[in-house]
């Protein structure tokens, strides 16, 4: 079984995330593998562990630094990596990125053989759109079982549990398929020292758009289907009143609420 897992390199949420002058996300700051993709890597690895003969390929689309996302996946245990990097990819939107990812899956199939399962996170931690998984599935014409809090693979059948607000659904798809997973699904492993050392020797393929048979305007600024007009930093909330409870904190709280006409 061949599993491709998508990994995105994102600005660190704990750092200062901002925008550049051309209204795109500032990617010069410290970045890392999107934490929500760690769940995808973990799930891909544990599915591979349970399968007889399986390999996990970590795929990223992004600038030079984005290779760090693939490296982290390799350190966690993925077998090989693919990094799609091309100057014309800068400022790609979701649809452009999905077209590139779908073409990358096809390229892997050409080079290595069929990709049975694509695993992704539920959203990126920067864009938070949650549309890339279904867009890729739609482009590849394969079933998508998404927002999984539980996945099991049995032969050619993949079963997932999808938790909604008022109900949980059990979904079944047949391979080849795509699965996206939530942060409820597992505890991602930390790379071990051995894993970190081993990752250095693992194969890492680099592709440009032309290698995937794509023209420069499939994504990036030239292929953009959306445009950002304006970005403004939200004014910090004005400092509120903070009191220390001296036995009447609850009463004071309600006095505040009453003053705001909230009770």
Partner 1 sequence: MSEVLVYADHANGKVAKSTFELLTLARRIGTPVAVVLNAGDSASQVAAALAEYGAETVLTADDSVYSDYLVAPAAELLASLVDSRSPAAVLLSSSFEGKEIAGRLSVKTDSGVITDAVDIDSDLVATQSVFAGGYTVRGKVTQGTPILTVKPNSVAPEASAAAGAVEAVSAEISDAAKTAKVVSTEDKPQTGRPNLTEAAIVVSGGRGTGGDFGPVETLADSLGAAVGASRAAVDAGWYPHANQVGQTGKTVSPQLYVAAGISGAIQHRAGMQTSKTIVAINKDDEAPIFELVDFGVVGDLFQVLPQATEAINSHK
Q: In what order do the strands lie in the sheet with 55-61?
A: 157-163, 144-154, 177-181, 117-121, 2-6, 55-61, 80-84, 204-207
How far, in Å, CA of 59 to CA of 7, rounded? 6
Q: How many residues bind ligand FAD (CB under 6 A)?
A: 4
Residues 158-187 close enough to bind ligand FAD by CB under 6 A = 183
The item of partner 1, ligand FAD, none sharing an interface with residue 216, based on CB under 5 to 8 Å by kind, is: none
Q: Considering the complex, state which of residue 110 and residue 163 has its C-beta at the smaller distance from partner 1.
A: 163
Using CB under 6 A as the binding rule, whether residue 36 contacts ligand FAD is answered as: yes
Cis bond upstream, residue 176 (ω within 30): yes
The item of ligand FAD, partner 1, none sharing an interface with residue 110, based on CB under 5 to 8 Å by kind, is: none
Q: Considering the complex, state which of residue 183 and residue 206 has its C-beta at the smaller distance from ligand FAD.
A: 183
How far, in Å, CA of 132 to CA of 40, rounded? 14
Residues 107-126 close enough to bind ligand FAD by CB under 6 A = 125
How far, in Å, CA of 6 to CA of 188, rounded? 15
Using CB under 6 A as the binding rule, whether residue 35 contacts ligand FAD is answered as: yes
Q: Considering the complex, state which of residue 197 and residue 254 has its C-beta at the smaller distance from partner 1.
A: 254
Q: Considering the complex, state which of residue 13 and residue 210 has its C-beta at the smaller distance from ligand FAD.
A: 13
How far, in Å, CA of 169 to CA of 104, rounded? 31
Q: How many Cβ atoms sit within 10 Å of the Cβ of residue 252?
A: 13
The item of partner 1, ligand FAD, none sharing an interface with residue 28, based on CB under 5 to 8 Å by kind, is: none
């Amino acid at each position: 079984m061949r599993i491709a897992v998508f990994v995105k390199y994102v600005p660190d949420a704990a750092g200062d995330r901002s925008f550049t002058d051309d209204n795109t996300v500032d990617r010069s700051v410290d970045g890392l593998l999107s934490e929500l993709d760690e769940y995808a890597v973990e799930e891909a690895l544990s599915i591979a562990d349970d399968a007889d003969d399986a390999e996990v390929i970590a795929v990223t689309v992004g600038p030079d630094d984005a290779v760090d996302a693939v490296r982290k996946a390799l350190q966690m245990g993925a077998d090989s990596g693919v990094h799609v990097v091309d100057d014309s990819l800068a400022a790609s939107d979701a649809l452009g990125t999905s077209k590139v990812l779908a073409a990358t899956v096809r390229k892997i199939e050409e080079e290595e053989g069929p990709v049975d399962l694509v695993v992704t996170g539920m959203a990126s931690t920067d864009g938070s759109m949650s549309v890339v998984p279904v867009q890729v599935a739609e482009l590849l014409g394969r079933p998508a079982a998404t927002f999984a809090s539980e996945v099991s693979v049995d032969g050619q059948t993949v079963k997932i549990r999808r938790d909604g607000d008022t109900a949980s659904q059990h979904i079944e798809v047949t391979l080849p398929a795509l699965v996206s997973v939530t942060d409820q699904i597992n505890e991602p492993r930390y790379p071990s020292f051995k894993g970190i050392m081993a990752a250095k020797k693992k194969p890492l393929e680099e592709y440009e758009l032309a290698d995937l048979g794509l023209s420069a305007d499939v994504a990036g600024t030239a292929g953009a289907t959306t445009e950002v007009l304006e970005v403004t930093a939200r004014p910090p909330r004005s400092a509120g009143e903070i009191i220390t409870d001296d036995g009447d904190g609850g009463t004071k709280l309600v006095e505040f609420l009453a003053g705001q006409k909230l009770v």
